[in-house]
């Protein structure tokens, strides 16, 4: 099979027929073998009934239905496990992503050898204040921290080699960072293509300002996991050691200062009356806890290493 089209959706019954017909027209005109996998993420309208209707008329249409709304990342993760096409293309169901982009995205993967190609909606039809400006700030921060020179991490229109989607684990709200997850999994040939952005035709957007707040929090998470996810001792152990040493040296200075004053018969106060004593003691306790956190993290990772997933590029005589 040439292409798997993955379409996560939430309450998009009005657009499904038009989107389906558009995709089928593109597939047939280019003689692609294909499947369309709709993932109903807990819709409250008749989206699932519409998917069922489309599936009865077209064997290439497949569907997954969640019991409730779990989020786009979970929808993509579930779909990726089922895809069979050599190239997997994701797109939104609101008709803002154009299926006419599919042939060129497919060629970039199959002919030019990209592992992943991300869409870039260079010209947008969203509100400049509500979405455009926050999106630019978010993408700038994502480029800076991830090292990937992509202009639009949030674009739902992306193309992947099948082995890429089988290797990444999309969870939480990490769907916008799939290129980063792919890079961390060893797929470094990541490209970008300017795509058409169309104004929403039906319904209302499902995303508010909270997605940018969550996006920045997820960015911090993935940046931390990228640097220290496999070696937590490098962060917690180092911080714990430094804080403990600082507290220990402070305690030593307090004790030596007390002994010197006693030896010289100078007036002095009890060590427990010195506020610096409690600061030093707290530092030593925090340092010990941070070190133990890193140590426990290493033990947990070691216990899971046997079951850890990884990508095998090639096998010989196996």
CATH number of the domain at 191, please: 3.90.550.10
Q: Same domain, yes or no, for 274 and 176? A: no
Task: Give one word for 317, left, alpha or beta, with left for phi > 0 and alpha for psi -120 to 50.
Answer: left
Residue 317 is assigned to a structural domain of this protein: no
More confident residue, 154 or 125: 154
DSSP-H helix ranges across 122-200: 133-146, 162-167, 178-184
Per-residue model confidence (pLDDT) at position 316: 38
Among the candidates 188, 213, 228, a domain finishes at 228
CA–CA gap between residue 212 and residue 137 (Å, rounded):
9
> Are residues 224 and 237 both part of a single domain?
no
Residue-number span of the structural domain to which 28 is assigned? 3-228
170 and 242 together in one domain? no
Parallel, antiparallel or unpaired: strands 61-65 and 116-120:
unpaired
Alpha carbons 171 and 210: distance in angstroms, whole number: 18
Beta-bridge mates of residue 63: 38
**Same domain flag for 137 and 276:** no
Q: Tell me: do 301 and 277 sit in the same domain.
A: yes
Window from 102-106, 117-121, 147-151, 210-214 with minimum mean pLDDT: 210-214
**Maximum Cα–Cα distance for the chain, whole Å?**
98
Q: Note whether residue 248 is domain-resident.
A: yes
Residue at 315 is within a domain: no
State whether 146 and 245 are in the same domain: no
The per-residue pLDDT for 63 is: 93
What is the rounded CA–CA span in Å between residue 316 and residue 318?
6
Q: Which of 188, 211, 228 is the last residue of a domain?
A: 228
Contact 116, 161 (CB under 8 A): yes
Secondary structure of residue 186 in the 3-state scheme: coil
Say whether both 196 and 287 belong to one domain: no
Q: Give the single-character DSSP code of 67.
A: S
Instruction: Check whether 210 has a pLDDT greater than 80.
Output: no
The answer to whether position 318 is within a domain reads: no
Per-residue pLDDT for 9 more than 90? yes
Within-domain flag for 313: no
243 occurs within a structural domain: yes
pLDDT beyond 90 at 228: no
Lowest mean pLDDT across 5-14, 161-170, 252-261? 252-261
101 with 71, same domain? Answer: yes
| The predicted structure's pLDDT at residue 48 | 92
Question: Would you say residue 264 has pLDDT above 60?
Answer: yes
C-alpha pair distances (Å), 285 with each of 196, 235, 241, 242 = 56, 17, 11, 12
Q: Is the pLDDT of residue 237 over 50?
A: yes
Q: From the CB of residue 129, how many other CB atoms can be counted at a distance below 10 Å?
A: 8
Any idea of the CA torsion for 79, 80, 84, 89, to the nearest 10 degrees? 90
In this structure, are residues 121 and 152 in contact, taking their beta carbons and an 8 Å threshold?
A: yes
Q: What is the pLDDT of residue 208?
A: 55
Give the C-alpha separation, 93 to 95, whole Å: 6
Q: Are residues 104 and 251 in the same domain?
A: no
DSSP SS3 for 35 = strand
Q: How confident is the model at residue 312 (pLDDT cuts 50, 70, 90)?
A: very low
Residue 164 within any structural domain of the chain = yes
Tell me if 312 is assigned to some domain.
no
Domain end among 165, 193, 228? 228
Whether residues 93 and 169 fall in one domain: yes
Residues 145 and 202 in one domain: yes
Q: In 10 A of CB 311, how many CB atoms?
A: 12
Label residue 318 by pLDDT band (50, 70, 90).
very low
Report the relative pairing of strands 158-161 and 87-90 from DSSP bridges: antiparallel
Span 24-52, pLDDT tens digits: 999 999 999 999 999 999 999 999 999 99
Please state the domain count of the chain.
2
CA-nearest of 10, 139, 126 to 69 is: 10
Mean pLDDT estimate for the chain? 83
Structure confidence at residue 295 as a pLDDT band (50, 70, 90) = confident
Higher pLDDT, 310 or 114: 114
- 127 and 160 in a single domain? The answer is yes
Token duo for residue 92? 């939104």
Q: Give the mean pLDDT of 97-117.
A: 95
């Amino acid at each position: 099979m040439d292409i798997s089209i993955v379409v996560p959706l939430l309450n998009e019954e009005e657009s499904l027929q038009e989107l389906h017909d558009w995709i089928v027209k593109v597939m047939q005109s280019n003689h692609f073998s294909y499947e369309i996998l709709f993932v109903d993420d807990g819709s409250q309208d008749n989206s699932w009934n519409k998917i069922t209707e489309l599936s009865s008329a077209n064997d290439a249409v497949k569907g997954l239905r969640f019991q409730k709304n779990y989020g786009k990342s979970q929808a993509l993760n579930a779909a990726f496990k089922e895809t069979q096409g050599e190239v997997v293309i994701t797109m939104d169901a609101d008709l803002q992503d154009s299926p006419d982009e599919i042939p060129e995205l497919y060629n970039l993967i199959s002919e030019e050898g990209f592992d992943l190609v991300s869409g870039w909606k260079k010209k947008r039809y969203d509100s400049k204040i509500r979405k455009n400006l926050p999106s630019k700030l978010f993408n700038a921060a994502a480029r800076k921290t991830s090292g990937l020179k992509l202009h639009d991490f949030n674009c739902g229109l992306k193309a992947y080699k099948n082995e890429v989607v089988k290797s990444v684990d999309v969870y939480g709200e990490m769907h916008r960072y799939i290129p980063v997850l792919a890079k961390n999994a060893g797929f470094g040939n990541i490209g970008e293509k300017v795509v058409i952005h169309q104004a929403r035709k039906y319904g209302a957007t499902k995303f508010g300002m909270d997605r940018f707040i969550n996006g920045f929090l997820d960015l911090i998470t993935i940046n931390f996991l990228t640097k220290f996810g496999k070696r937590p001792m490098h962060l917690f152990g180092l911080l714990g050691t430094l804080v403990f040493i600082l507290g220990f040296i402070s305690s030593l200075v307090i004790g030596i200062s007390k002994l010197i004053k006693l030896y010289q018969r100078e007036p002095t106060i009890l060590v427990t009356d010195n506020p610096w004593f409690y600061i030093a003691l707290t530092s030593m306790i925090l340092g010990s806890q941070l070190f133990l956190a890193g140590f426990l993290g290493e033990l947990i990772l070691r216990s899971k290493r046997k079951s850890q997933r990884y990508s095998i590029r090639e096998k010989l005589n196996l």
